[in-house]
Structure 1
Amino acid sequence: MKILVTGGAGFIGSAVVRHVIEHTEDSVVNLDKLTYAGNLESLDAISGNDRYRFEQVDICDRAAVDQVLARHQPDVIMHLAAESHVDRSIDGPSDFIQTNIVGTYTLLEAARAYWSGLSAEGKARFKFHHISTDEVYGDLEGPTDLFTEQTPYAPSSPYSASKASSDHLVRAWHRTYGLPVVVTNCSNNYGPFHFPEKLIPLMILNALEGKALPVYGSGAQVRDWLYVDDHARALYTVVTQGGVGQTYNIGGHNERRNLDVVHAICSLLDELRPVDKNPAVSGIARYADLIKHVADRPGHDLRYAIDASKIEADLGWKPQETFESGIRKTVSWYLDNLQWCQRVQDGSYQRERLGAQVSEGTSV
Structure 2
Amino acid sequence: MSHILVTGGAGFIGANFVLNWLAQAGADSVVNVDKLTYAGNLKTLASLDGDARHIFSRSDICDRAALDSLLKQYRPRAVLHFAAESHVDRSIHGPADFIETNIVGTFTLLEAVRAYYADLGDAEKAAFRFLHVSTDEVFGSLGPTDPQFTEATAYAPNSPYSASKAASDHLVRAYHHTYGLPVLTTNCSNNYGPYHFPEKLIPLMITNALNGKPLPVYGDGLNVRDWLYVGDHCSAIREVLARGVPGETYNVGGWNEKTNLDVVHTLCDLLDELQPKAAGSYRDQIAFVKDRPGHDRRYAIDAGKLERELGWKPAETFETGLRKTVQWYLSHQSWVEDVISGDYRNWVAKQYAA
Q: Is the TM value for this pair above 0.5?
A: yes
Aligned pair count reads 342
Which residue of 1 is the match for residue 277 of structure 2? 275
> What's the secondary structure of 1:77's corresponding residue?
strand
Which residue of 2 is the match for residue 3 of structure 1? 4
Which residue of 2 is the match for residue 101 of structure 1? 103
1:252 corresponds to which letter in structure 2? G
Change (3 A) 1:182 1:24: farther
C-alpha distance in 1 between matches for 2:326 and 2:181: 41
> What's the secondary structure of 2:293's corresponding residue?
coil
- Are 2:310 and 1:315 equivalent residues in the alignment? yes
> What's the secondary structure of 1:225's corresponding residue?
strand
C-alpha distance in 1 between matches for 2:107 and 2:332: 37
Deviation at 1:24, TM superposition (A): 4.2
1:285 corresponds to which letter in structure 2? G
Listed as ranges, the gaps of 5+ residues in structure 1 are 277-283, 350-364
- Are 2:291 and 1:290 equivalent residues in the alignment? no
> What's the secondary structure of 2:48's corresponding residue?
coil
Deviation at 1:219, TM superposition (A): 0.5
Which residue of 2 is the match for residue 143 of structure 1? 145
Matches of residues 205-220 of structure 1 in structure 2 within 5 Å?
205-220=207-222
Which residue of 2 is the match for residue 352 of structure 1? none
> What's the secondary structure of 1:275's corresponding residue?
coil
Change (3 A) 1:347 1:239: farther
Which residue of 2 is the match for residue 85 of structure 1? 87
- Are 2:319 and 1:324 equivalent residues in the alignment? yes
> What's the secondary structure of 1:53's corresponding residue?
strand
C-alpha distance in 2 between matches for 1:253 and 1:216: 23
Change (3 A) 1:73 1:133: same
Deviation at 1:73, TM superposition (A): 0.6
Change (3 A) 1:215 1:143: same
Query: Which TM-score applies when normalising by structure 1?
Result: 0.92
For residues 157-199 of structure 1, give each alpha carbon's deviation from its aligned partner in whole angstroms, at most 9, with x where no partner exists. Answer: 0000000000000000110111110100000000000000010
Deviation at 1:348, TM superposition (A): 11
Identity of aligned residues (%): 63
1:10 corresponds to which letter in structure 2? G
Listed as ranges, the gaps of 5+ residues in structure 2 are 345-354
Which residue of 2 is the match for residue 357 of structure 1? none
C-alpha distance in 1 between matches for 2:280 and 2:71: 56
C-alpha distance in 2 between matches for 1:347 and 1:48: 31
Which residue of 1 is the match for residue 339 of structure 2? 344
C-alpha distance in 2 between matches for 1:3 and 1:134: 25
> What's the secondary structure of 1:123's corresponding residue?
helix
Which residue of 2 is the match for residue 236 of structure 1? 238
> What's the secondary structure of 2:250's corresponding residue?
strand
Matches of residues 1-364 of structure 1 in structure 2 within 5 Å?
1-25=2-26, 26-276=28-278, 285-346=280-341
Query: Which TM-score applies when normalising by structure 2?
Result: 0.95
C-alpha distance in 1 between matches for 2:30 and 2:267: 34
